[in-house]
């Protein structure tokens, strides 16, 4: 379907729906891990206070931002990227670990939310 305002280009809302679908898949993926952790807790779990800080940053903070992005695109994208950046810094500085590259996949829907929000802002 051709939108007369955009010529042959796809409608800008496709970016929003790709971001929404990706964020829903990622949040459900994280929920599966939480359910698995609750049903089958690891033996001898010795989580420290710093581990709980990391858990609040990723995945909880990032997923919260992805969910906010469903309604408030710019805010959700910024929240997710901020939590992801702070989590990455926390891993490198506090835990002295490298950032696992698969975690950066969570930035994709956040960036798409920002792209959609910027396009909508420029169009208005």
Is 52 inside any structural domain? Answer: yes
Is 43 inside any structural domain? Answer: no
Is 8 inside any structural domain? Answer: no
Is 88 inside any structural domain? Answer: yes
d(CA 40, CA 116): 39
Q: What is the pLDDT along the chain (124 residues), one digit of tens a residue?
A: 444 555 555 567 899 999 999 999 999 999 998 888 778 877 776 677 788 888 889 989 999 999 999 999 999 999 999 999 999 999 999 989 999 999 999 999 999 999 999 998 888 7
Please give the residue range of the domain that contains residue 72. Answer: 19-36+48-123
Is 6 inside any structural domain? Answer: no
pTM: 0.84
Is 13 inside any structural domain? Answer: no
Is 85 inside any structural domain? Answer: yes
Count of the separate structural domains present in the chain: 1
Is 104 inside any structural domain? Answer: yes
């Amino acid at each position: 379907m051709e939108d007369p305002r955009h010529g042959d280009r796809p409608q800008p809302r496709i970016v929003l729906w790709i971001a929404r679908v990706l964020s829903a898949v990622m949040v459900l993926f994280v929920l599966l891990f939480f359910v698995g952790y609750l049903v089958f807790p690891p033996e001898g779990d010795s989580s420290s206070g710093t581990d709980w800080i990391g858990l609040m940053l990723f995945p909880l903070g990032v997923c919260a931002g992805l969910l906010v992005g469903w309604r408030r695109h710019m805010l959700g994208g910024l929240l997710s990227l901020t939590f992801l950046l702070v989590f990455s810094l926390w891993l490198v500085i506090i835990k002295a670990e490298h950032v696992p590259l698969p975690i950066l996949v969570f930035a994709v829907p956040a960036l798409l939310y920002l792209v959609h929000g910027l396009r909508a802002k420029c169009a208005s």
